[in-house]
Amino acid sequence: MDKFPDIVVIKFGSGILTQPDGMALDDTRIESLVTAVAGVYASGKKPIIVSSGAAAAGMMEFGFNERPAQLATLQACCAVGQTRLMQVYGTMFRDFELNVAQLLLDNEDFATQQRRENVLNTLQQLIELGGVIPIINENDSVAVEELKFGDNDTLSAQIACLVEASLLILLTGVDGLKDEQGSLVEEVADIDSVTCHVRPETGQFSVGGMATKLEAARVASAAGIPAVIANGDNPGQIYQLIAGSGIGTRIQAR
């Protein structure tokens, strides 16, 4: 995709899309994220969103207060929640005269060269048509365990590599990776040297944690794509992150 050197893949985690109590989508936060992405698009960049939040949105619609243990129930939540999530995105991006395009993928879509090209061709055509923000999520409503990426951090890295993005941004609920003293690790050249700082924790409605974000950054870095882990509580800094500043943990491309 040499015609589009300014593609930026931005991953939204579930924790930044929902209210603090996890009982509803945070429309104000999502509006701030949408406004920031619309600004990125207006600047001439080509943003692609990888969005979590379908499972949480569905659980909220059904009134669950914890993640269902039964796979079929969780998949039903994802089916309902994905519709709700895209409705919110579509309404908000329309205020900026932008359409949204939904792509639901699983690991099998990257299993062969032909299927990878099918995904790439769709994304390339959406970018060429213009006025569209692609929004990608794992196809949680039908994917069985062996076909799942497991988390959208991994999916976002795969997408970044596929489209040869200029940057992968992983937005989460913290400023980035912190060391044992609680200080932000701002720059990472060797991921293996900082994995000792990872704490084994995830949110109530999220799947991945800092470890999966570092592994996603490792995949992107190996493909020559820098990555940054930053706080989605501050959507206004997205363009700063693209410009090389802002607050976060930046992983150098190898």
Give the start-to-end residue ranges of the domains of the chain: 7-251
Residue-level pLDDT at 5: 65
> Tens place of pLDDT for every residue, the chain, 254 residues?
455 569 999 999 888 998 776 667 899 999 999 999 999 999 999 999 999 888 888 888 888 877 788 888 888 888 899 999 999 999 999 999 999 999 999 888 888 899 999 999 999 999 999 999 999 998 866 655 533 555 789 999 999 999 999 999 999 989 999 988 889 999 999 988 888 887 765 554 445 588 899 999 999 999 999 999 999 999 999 999 999 999 999 999 98
Domain spanning 7-251: which CATH class is it, in words? alpha beta
Residue-level pLDDT at 205: 47
Q: In the numeric block, which tokens belong to residue 39?
A: 């600004």
Residue 182: count other Cβ atoms within 10 Å of its Cβ: 6
Supply the DSSP symbol for 42.
H
Q: In the numeric block, which tokens belong to residue 167?
A: 């940057």
pTM (predicted TM-score)? 0.91
Residue-level pLDDT at 232: 93
Residue-level pLDDT at 215: 93
Residue-level pLDDT at 140: 64
Widest CA span in the chain? 48
The β-bridge partners of 9 are 48, 168
Phi, psi of 134 (to 5 degrees): -70, 135
